[in-house]
Homo-oligomer: A and B are copies of this chain.
Amino acid sequence: MVIRYPNGQNYKPASVKKSRKNNNVIFGNRGMSLEEELNQSNTYYLHREIAVVHKKPIPIQLVQVDYPKRSAAVIKEAYFKQASTTDYNGVYHGYYIDFEAKETRSKTSFPLNNFHEHQVEHMKACVRQGGICFTIIKFCATQELFLLPVATLLKYWDNQGHGRKSIPKKVIATTGFPIIYHVQPLVPYLACVDKLIENLHTTKGVSHE
């Protein structure tokens, strides 16, 4: 059976995504999707009482649900709905954090068609409310991870009509923060969030517990 993502793209098991060109580099996390890596990291942060961040469930439109006697309800017909928000949100040191996690096979840039309009609108709305928004981008070919602040995304997003439809990797590396795979947690992205919070204070003079 061919398995596909809700958007119709073919599902490729994570192992297939490994770059075969970098066999000389060893990474402990090989074979895990970015989502699995982040879920594991969020569980670590939760148990250590460092932050409370969860991935939101996939939105589903229920059509038919059966209730067999003495057993659990079974969904017999349902459809995937497009999410109206980003995938991850939560609270860290009193701050609301909100982000998307995206993988790309591109080696030189991050294509903007990885985002939906409503996800970007959601991020803009969160920023207006003082939330901390960003994207975690994984370049699968090199297994490189970056935390990209929302400002860079919005700059390229809003300029799509006039220019390129992707963010160059160079720009991501300079305006974003590299996340180096670690053991506990596997993806220590909150260290980068600390920097975003520092910048927030420097630029706005916000005092916050």
Contacts and interface: CB of A to CB of B under 8 A. Distances in A.
Contact of A73 (B49, B56, B79, B94): B79
Contacts of A14: none
A27 interface: no
Copies of this chain, tallied across the complex: 2
Contact of A130 (B46, B67, B94): B94
Contact of A93 (B8, B54, B67, B130): B130
A67 B46 CA distance: 36
A98 B54 CA distance: 12
Nearest to A205: B209
A81 B54 CA distance: 15
Interface residues of A, number: 51
Interface of A: 2-4, 6, 8, 46, 49, 51-52, 54, 56-60, 65, 67, 72-81, 83-85, 89-96, 98, 122, 125-126, 128-131, 204, 206-209
